[in-house]
Amino acid sequence: MSEFRTEHDSMGTVEVAADRLWGAQTERSRRNFPIGVGKETMPGEIIHAFGLIKKAAALANRELLPEKMTVEKCEAICDAADEVISGMLSEHFPLVVWQTGSGTQTNMNANEVIANRGNQLAGKRLLHPNDDINLSQSSNDTFPTALHLAAVTAVEDQLLPSLDALIVALQKLEEDNADVVKTGRTHLQDAVPIRFSQEVSGWRASLEQDGRMLRAALPPLRELALGGTAVGTGLNAPAGFDRLVAEKLSLLTGKDFVPSPNKYRALTSLDGLVFAHGAMKALAADLMKLANDVRWLASGPRCGLGEITIPANEPGSSIMPGKVNPTQCEQVTMVAVQVMANDTAIGLAASQGNFQLNVFLPVCADNFLRSARLLSESMAAFRANCVCGIQVNRIRMEENLRRSLMSVTALNPYIGYENAARVAQLAFREEITLREACIRLGYMEAERFDAVFCPEKMT
């Protein structure tokens, strides 16, 4: 049977497992919110960010409030916070997303763990969760700050590198097939010719635009609420704390962060997060289009379009021998749907800021970071297991190009739109070529048709 110790907070005493570093407030939350336990705990990125915040705050308080933040206390906090940042203490952060909407209990979880671990390192009762670890802070400004730190890190360190790698893979596919001409398609119907490299360039350029939008979304996320404390006034924080702690966080992360110029907005508005996730939704939409195009083009292998082949990664059916499915395309489209759903949750949550605080912060953090992770990992798998293995079926593309009736558009300048339409209709009706139909209708001699009809020049 586990041993327990007695912890206390302003509401009284609570029994906590002796081998856990959290305190009374964390334990109360753990008991009161048994929702998604073990499955939907607060994202690790948020815990990591809290470690950074508590270390940066201690360093800033050491400079601004040396009588309260002594050298001994600052060193103990920094050492314990470093263990949080490294992930060594992750088992001591048990709280779920579905808790107080301000994230107060996760802030207190960080305060209690760092205080207790710091006391262990110091070998004495040196630190208090509220008076020392939470000095100059409130949950109302630390959680939005953690959210911004985690969001910037996820976009810069996970999402954009994965996106850029996929773009490079598409560039190679484009360059390797610059000479391939195929039929275009609009409305899922045959259209005028296009080069396969041009088709791929559309995919690539869309993703490049998504990257630009993601980068444009970062500056608002670099603004931090820290220093606003409870309602934005900065109560109990020393002058200059917001600027100094932003500088400390910038040094600790190697990323640029600045204090929000208006803390009242920073505590209650999530517009920057909505904007950034909107860019992720745009990326999801483009990935959906790309994955669908790839699986349409690879459909078959004999009774579909069959213009490209994609890697056969695993058996596709438990009953049909030899069947292979476009599974990487399917995971991309499912991820895209989930990201779009996450965007709805974030948008709704962001609209619910009342007075001086938005109390939907944990669900926003969970959805934003989940989208970033899903998109990053999805693109990496899609690139490695599908895009890099795409092979062009040149024979099928050539056959489809020659059979396409819409190449008749090349004749418009010579015989007019209506006559060209008659050529296409006759060719379709009697299963003959455009050349045969044009000659039979008397619109051109064979030599003239051969001279002006060149699909390759239509691209």
One-letter identity of residue 127:
L
Question: Is 139 a catalytic site residue?
Answer: no
Helix (H) or strand (E) run with residue 15 in it: strand 12-17
Helix (H) or strand (E) run with residue 446 in it: helix 446-452
Closest CA to 142 of 90, 81, 215: 81
Question: Is 162 a catalytic site residue?
Answer: no
DSSP 292-359: HHHHHHT--SSSS--SEE----S---SSSTT----HHHHHHHHHHHHHHHHHHHHHHHHTT-BTTB-S
DSSP, res 138: -
Q: Where are the alpha helices (DSSP H) in 351-403?
A: 361-385, 394-403
CA atoms within 13 A on the CB side of 63: 14
What's the start-to-end Cα distance of the chain, in Å?
76
Closest CA to 141 of 60, 228, 223: 228
Residues contacting residue 383 through CB under 8 Å, at least 6 positions apart: 162, 165, 166, 169
Which residue among the candidates 8, 86, 317, 351 is catalytic per the annotation? 317
- β strands within 101-198, DSSP E: 181-186, 189-195
Which residue among the candidates 48, 138, 139, 187 is catalytic per the annotation? 187
Active-site positions? 187, 317
